[in-house]
Amino acid sequence: MERILERYERYAYAERQLVATDIETQGSWNLEHAKLQARIEVLQKNERHYMGEDLDSLSLKELHNLEHQLDSALKQIRSRKDKNLQEHNNLLLKKANGKEKEIYQPPPVEQQNDGNSSTALPNQLHSVNIGLAQVE
């Protein structure tokens, strides 16, 4: 009988501890929710400012800061675009050089199997259009 009472007391104590931690956890979640909600509002306000909306509420210093951020972002975008264009240009140049080498490379010499004579085929010239000029 004593063991049953001890077990009951242990379970009752454990249940009270769980209820207490649940209340603390709930309060913690409510606080976290409030912080995240405030952060979302700030981010949405900043987004509206970046889009050119609600600028009347900004001070002169905040407007200058916003202008600086937009200029900085624009420079990064232009830099990334220039880099991508340069890489694409280099790739196209490599492809063009490869095609040019293929065109100007003489065809392989073919030999007959009977061994009497070997003849070489005459080189064929291909015409290539490069820009406005035609090269033969």
List the domain boundaries for the chain.
1-57, 58-94
Per the document, the length of the chain is: 136
Under DSSP, the state recorded for 107 is P
The answer to whether residues 99 and 106 touch, using CB atoms and an 8 Å cutoff, is no
- pLDDT confidence bin for 131, thresholds 50/70/90: low
- How far, in Å, CA of 97 to CA of 84, rounded? 20
Average pLDDT, the chain: 81
CA dihedral (6, 12, 17, 22) in degrees, to 10, reads 160
The answer to whether residues 66 and 50 touch, using CB atoms and an 8 Å cutoff, is yes
Q: HSE on the CB side for 102, CA within 13 Å?
A: 7
Looking at per-residue pLDDT, the higher value among 119 and 90 belongs to 90
Under DSSP, the state recorded for 106 is P
Would the pLDDT of 118 be above 80? Answer: no
Quickly list H helices, the chain: 2-50, 60-104
- Assigned token pair, 14: 């454990």
pLDDT tens digits, one per residue of 15-70: 877 776 767 777 788 889 999 999 999 999 999 998 989 888 889 999 999 999 99
Residue of 103, 102, 120 whose CA lies nearest to 111: 120
